[in-house]
Amino acid sequence: MEVGNNKVVTVTYQLHSNLPTTEKAHVETADASNPLRFLYGAGMMIPGFEKGLAGKSTGDSFGFTINPEDGYGDNDASAIIDLPIDIFKVDNVIDMNLLKIGNVLPMSDNSGNVLNGKVISYDDKAVKMDFNHPLAGHELHFTGEIIEVREASPEEVSHGHVHSGDGHHGH
């Protein structure tokens, strides 16, 4: 069966990434013991990943590169912001363990949406945080294999995600 809309696709892959000026670095692996299973066309995967798998069938190998615009986008300077250091107080004391450079912290915006931000610097007044996706600006290099392609159930299509075979629906 061929990969296409409303199909459940199971793949193994290795992902490497790089900035235009750096060498490839390993990011993650989905192997046979823990493959990626997703509903093709449901909008849950980055666009370039689905494009790279289009038309492939069970047993096919794949290898493709995704540019930032079809992945996680370019780095957005407006997603790097200074926050008042006072918001990092716990029991009225600034928690310095939170402010380690490189720490990724879940933060909430004014609407209650959770956004992960990386601490990039701080001083006595503000903490500079980067809310770009960690792979923004990176080329993504995928290699892998299509393990299975099957028709999605009507319930999976209406819910927009894959249901596991044990009846668990992940809601």
CA–CA separation, 85 and 159 (whole Å): 41
Residues 41 and 119 in one domain: no
Q: Is residue 169 part of a domain?
A: no
pLDDT tens profile 79-124: 999 999 999 988 889 888 889 999 999 999 889 999 999 999 999 9
Residue 171 inside a domain? The answer is no
Q: Considering the chain, what is the average pLDDT of its residues?
A: 91
pLDDT at position 102 is 94
pLDDT per residue over 125-148, tens digit each?
A: 999 999 999 999 999 999 999 999
Q: Which domain holds residue 113?
A: 77-130
Q: What is the CATH number of the domain that holds 123?
A: 2.40.10
State residue 144's pLDDT score: 98
State how many domains the chain has: 2
Q: What are phi and psi of 47, to 5 degrees?
A: -55, -40
Model confidence band, residue 169 (pLDDT cutoffs 50, 70, 90): very low
Cβ-Cβ contacts under 8 Å for 72 (sequence gap 6 or more): 46, 132, 133, 135, 136, 137, 138
Query: Which residues, including other chains, have CB under 8 Å from residue 155's CB and lie 6 or more apart?
Result: 163, 169
pLDDT-wise least confident of 50-54, 72-76, 107-111, 116-120: 107-111
Cα(148)–Cα(99) distance, integer angstroms:
44
Question: Is residue 69 domain-shared with residue 13, that is, in the same domain?
Answer: yes
Contacts of 52 (CB under 8 A, 6+ apart): 62, 64, 66, 142
Please report whether residue 164 resides in a domain: no
Same domain, yes or no: 11 and 69: yes
Angular region, 63: left φ>0, alpha ψ -120 to 50, beta rest: beta
3-state secondary structure of 106: strand
Q: Are residues 60 and 11 in the same domain?
A: yes
